[in-house]
Amino acid sequence: MRATLGPKKPLDLKPVYTAVELAQSIGISRRRFIRLLERQEVFVYRVGWDVLVPLSEVRDKLQPLWASLLVIDQRRQEVDESSNSFRLSHRPPLRDP
């Protein structure tokens, strides 16, 4: 088993995540995360070696992870809005022809 040092990668909100993506986002191994899913009775899709987790299952059965996804998404939107307002405020004035 590989040791992990904590959260590694923030995620965008999307309809389905792989178990690897979610495990990496909270800083645990894929195997440990899959055991967590089984204990929480989370419905998953298995496609070959991939384990896919619907967003609705994260929302309904993994509330702390769901809350962190919402916080990350809210922060991303705030950054996008501030960068958009910066770009608009620093735009050169339009010239009349």
E-only strand ranges, 3-89: 16-18, 45-47, 50-54
The first and second tokens of residue 69, run together, are: 């996804």
State the average pLDDT over residues 72-83: 81
Q: How far apart are CA 61 and CA 93, in angstroms?
A: 51
For the chain, which residues make up each domain, given as ranges? 16-78
- From 7, 11, 8, select the one nearest 69 (Cα to Cα): 11
pLDDT at residue 8, rounded to an integer: 65
Task: Give the total residue count for the chain.
Answer: 97
Q: Which residue has the higher pLDDT, 3 or 67?
A: 67
State the average pLDDT over residues 60-78: 87
Q: Which residue has the higher pLDDT, 44 or 71?
A: 44
User: In what helix (H) or strand (E) does residue 96 lie, and over which residues does it extend?
Assistant: none
Is 46 in a helix, a strand, or coil?
strand
Question: What are the tens digits of pLDDT across the range 9-62?
Answer: 678 889 999 999 999 988 999 999 999 999 999 999 999 999 999 999 999 999
